[in-house]
């Protein structure tokens, strides 16, 4: 099934990766939201669990190894085109994770990758839902 103008919603996975008080961000290299900063993640593949997909996506987009620590929330991302037809529709499962090893190196769908101070996200023009998910994750974590 095509990701653009799909017949039904696709399952996407987003991961809030923590390293101390810093959160991992990627700059998207592909649509939707190409060029914008976001959480690492992507489409779940057939035959893989959400947690397996989360670890795979983080590794592909940043080269990092992470430990998934839990579910944060589920978000709908519905993007219409200029004519009102649904161009993208993802059901996003957002998970929390802790950094285990490596330094962020962009790969896969990511044009850039970096750890950023969670209390200094203003300059990254993040989607409101991304900010909400990061805040939820931060509220539920112990450092």
Contact 39, 12 (CB under 8 A): no
- Residue 32 structural domain: 10-139
* Model pLDDT, residue 34: 86
Q: Does some domain include residue 1?
A: no
State the CATH number of the domain containing residue 82: 3.90.79.10
* Model pLDDT, residue 18: 98
Burial zone of 141 (CB within 10 Å; 0-12 exposed, 13-18 middle, 19+ buried): middle
d(CA 19, CA 13): 19
C-alpha 66 chain-centroid distance: 13
Q: Does some domain include residue 4?
A: no
The pTM is what?
0.90
Respond yes or no on whether the N-terminal peptide bond of residue 48 is cis (omega within 30° of 0): no
* Model pLDDT, residue 141: 74
Q: Does some domain include residue 5?
A: no
Residue 54 contacts by C-beta under 8 Å, 6 or more apart in sequence?
Answer: 13, 15, 41, 66, 68, 95, 97
Residue 32 contacts by C-beta under 8 Å, 6 or more apart in sequence?
Answer: 77, 79, 87, 88
Mean pLDDT by 10 residues, the chain (143 residues): 89 97 93 87 95 97 97 94 94 98 92 95 92 95 63
Number of structural domains found in the chain: 1
């Amino acid at each position: 099934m095509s990701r653009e103008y799909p017949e039904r919603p696709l399952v996407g996975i987003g991961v809030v990766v923590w390293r101390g008080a810093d959160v991992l961000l990627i700059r998207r290299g592909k649509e939707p939201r190409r060029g914008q900063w976001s959480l690492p993640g992507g489409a779940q593949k057939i035959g893989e669990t959400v947690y397996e997909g989360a670890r795979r996506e983080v590794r592909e987009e940043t080269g990092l190894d992470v430990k998934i620590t839990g579910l944060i929330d589920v978000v709908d991302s519905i993007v219409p085109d200029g004519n009102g037809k649904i161009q993208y529709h993802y059901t996003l499962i957002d998970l929390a994770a802790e950094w285990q090893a490596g330094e962020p190196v962009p790969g896969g769908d990511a044009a850039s990758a970096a750890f950023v101070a969670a209390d200094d996200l203003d300059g990254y023009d993040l989607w409101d839902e991304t900010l909400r998910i990061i805040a939820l994750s931060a509220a539920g974590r112990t450092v």
